[in-house]
Amino acid sequence: MSKPTTPAESAQLKDIVAHAKEYGFVFQSSEIYDGLAAVYDYGPNGVELKNNLKRLWWETMTQLHGNVVGIDAAIFMAPQTWEASGHVAGFNDPLIDNLDSKKRYRADVLIEEKAAEYENAGDPARGAALTAEMGRLLTANDLAGVRQLIIDEKILCPVSGTGNWTEVRQFNLMFSTQGSAVDSEAPPVYLRPETAQGIFVNFLNVQKSARMKIPFGIAQIGKAFRNEIVARQFIFRMREFEQMEMQFFVRPGTEGEWYDTWKAARRRFHEALGLPAAKLRFHDHDKLAHYAKAAVDIEYEFPFGFKEMEGIHSRGDFDLTQHQNLSRKKQQYFDNDLDPATGKPYGNYVPYVVETSVGADRLFLATLCEAFQEETITEGEGDAQTTKQRTFLKLHPAVAPIKAAIFPLVRKDGMPEKAQQIFDELRFDFRLVIEDKDAIGKRYTRQDLIGTPFCIVVDGQTLEDDTVTVRHRDTREQTRMPIGALRAYIGEAVSFKTVFAKL
């Protein structure tokens, strides 16, 4: 359960949203037309940060695990996919309208917010009982019961202030589009609401072509689409977003161990990236999705409270069995390992699946929120001492959009040429920029604001002895070193190995 947002927390989110726009991380989609709700574009620094996060996830999954391979499936899939997966029938949010304000809400969100109020008022037991009751009603698809719960709890519309509610209805979250240009009767094709199904339908293709032996995983990064009713909190809940999912296929009976293994491994990933342990927590689902036998969220404490960043789901053989039944194509694996109980091979079975599913955009948002730092710094000495505010992004150097900025101290005396020479020497290794405008202090500030870990200054001494100063973003300390040492120095700090070593 998440605590309600306090005014200070909203202000922090506002600052982060403004910062993301001003410094080229995230823009509202089609802003010149006043934007499209819950759709966002990534700017020049945003796309670098996001790509780095995606590459880090990809390599963590596929490079560090000899038994995990990747795929890139299409967004469009045969419409039967979504019947088999249960999304046509069951991928719904419960909606309720207030008759006075004409505003539409997610019934479960209204109840969760009420539960959070109880928790905040020092009565967490009452809050927990309320969410448990909601989970029970939703699992039973008792929508009249959900409405009654809203009325009994005296939940009022935040706009009209009344409890004049409609019935609760289910609303399917999938977007669909015309499947055929020539056949108007053709069934619609859906924009996939999760990437996972592209993995399930390719299970045998991958297993056979890559000669995978159970247990093994298939990883994928790609777009997913959901017609979210409550779209807010910036890029937290979008209609078009990206998922990084991994389906791990296991022998039935071993799924409990693998669930625990992946749960721990995924939490370690977030900590290794620099999200503090105290701002991460597990949250077992109150209401299981239609496919899940067990499910837990890894929540991060965003400025608007603890919220889901990643889901770990034990999906059993639900998806493969559903596809097997609808397609009439066997989705089985022959396991020739010997079962110690019988001394015979385990034989044919439909594997069970443990899934890890993290939103690239939510990981981006968590990373950005965590990195956003404001501090008061003191400059000068004695009477000349001044204090000022500094804002900087304390991004893990491995994911920072730009690894180093090179500053010629002045635009003359051969310094710009030397800066260019350093750029040319290092550009095969790192993403760099050369900045030669404004005073050095201003240039440092500009790089701090986008999270560049190192600023390399070319000065008079550089021309004499080929040394430069390297200024560190977090401490503002400067180290003098030979140009020849830069590659190894920066390389070590920005390497993914610094994250991998903590996994």
Tell whether residue 311 is a contact of ligand GAP (CB under 6 A): yes
Nearest in space to 353 (alpha carbons), one of 252, 245, 220: 252
Give all strands (DSSP E) within 292-447, no chain letters: 294-302, 305-316, 333-339, 344-349, 352-359, 372-379, 386-393, 404-408, 432-434
Per DSSP, the three-state class of 139 is helix
Alpha-carbon separation of residue 59 from 13, 49, 53, 267 (angstroms): 30, 15, 10, 16
Q: Which is nearer to ligand GAP, 68 or 196 (CB)?
A: 196
Q: Which is nearer to ligand GAP, 45 or 356 (CB)?
A: 356
Which residue stretch of 93-101, 211-219, 305-313, 393-401 sits at the interface with ligand GAP (rule: CB under 6 A)? 305-313
Considering only 53, 146, 238, 419, the residue that binds ligand GAP (CB under 6 A) is: 238
8-state DSSP, 5: P
Tell whether residue 400 is a contact of ligand GAP (CB under 6 A): no
Q: Which is nearer to ligand GAP, 45 or 197 (CB)?
A: 197
Q: Which residue has the tokens 């055929």?
A: 180
Please give the Cα distance from 470 to 406 (Å, whole number). 9
Tell whether residue 237 is a contact of ligand GAP (CB under 6 A): yes
Q: Which is nearer to ligand GAP, 360 or 499 (CB)?
A: 360
Question: Do 331 and 323 touch, CB atoms closer than 8 A?
Answer: yes
Tell whether residue 263 is a contact of ligand GAP (CB under 6 A): no
Which residue stretch of 121-129, 352-360, 388-396, 399-407 sits at the interface with ligand GAP (rule: CB under 6 A)? 352-360
Q: Which is nearer to ligand GAP, 288 or 481 (CB)?
A: 288
Distance of CA 390 to the CA centre of its chain: 27
Tell whether residue 93 is a contact of ligand GAP (CB under 6 A): no
Nearest in space to 196 (alpha carbons), one of 172, 217, 167, 165: 217
Q: Which is nearer to ligand GAP, 202 or 391 (CB)?
A: 202
Tell whether residue 84 is a contact of ligand GAP (CB under 6 A): no
Which residue stretch of 146-154, 323-331, 351-359, 462-470 sits at the interface with ligand GAP (rule: CB under 6 A)? 351-359
- Within a 10 A sphere around the Cβ of 28, how many other Cβ atoms? 18
Tell whether residue 401 is a contact of ligand GAP (CB under 6 A): no
Tell whether residue 226 is a contact of ligand GAP (CB under 6 A): yes
Two tokens, residue 485: 């040492």
Tell whether residue 308 is a contact of ligand GAP (CB under 6 A): yes
Furthest-apart CA pair in the chain: how many Å? Answer: 85
Q: Which residue is nearest to ligand GAP (CB)?
A: 359
Tell whether residue 396 is a contact of ligand GAP (CB under 6 A): no
Two tokens, residue 397: 């150097």
Binding mask 175-214 for ligand GAP (x = CB under 6 A): -------------------x-x------------------
Please give the Cα distance from 50 to 40 (Å, whole number). 13
Q: How far is the CB of 228 from ligand GAP (least distance, A)?
A: 5
Distance of CA 496 to the CA centre of its chain: 18
Which residue stretch of 144-152, 273-281, 358-366, 397-405 sits at the interface with ligand GAP (rule: CB under 6 A)? 358-366
Two tokens, residue 184: 């108007």
Considering only 85, 357, 447, 452, the residue that binds ligand GAP (CB under 6 A) is: 357
Question: Do 304 and 9 touch, CB atoms closer than 8 A?
Answer: yes
Q: How far is the CB of 259 from ligand GAP (least distance, A)?
A: 14
Tell whether residue 245 is a contact of ligand GAP (CB under 6 A): yes
Tell whether residue 359 is a contact of ligand GAP (CB under 6 A): yes
Which residue stretch of 151-159, 174-182, 354-362, 436-444 sits at the interface with ligand GAP (rule: CB under 6 A)? 354-362
Half-sphere exposure of 478 (CA within 13 A, CB side): 10
8-state DSSP, 317: T
Considering only 15, 123, 228, 413, the residue that binds ligand GAP (CB under 6 A) is: 228
Ramachandran class of 102: left when φ > 0, alpha when ψ lies in -120 to 50, beta otherwise: left
Question: Do 40 and 29 touch, CB atoms closer than 8 A?
Answer: yes
Task: Name the residues that contact ligand GAP, by CB under 6 A.
Answer: 194, 196, 226, 228, 237-238, 241, 243, 245, 308-311, 355, 357-359, 361-362
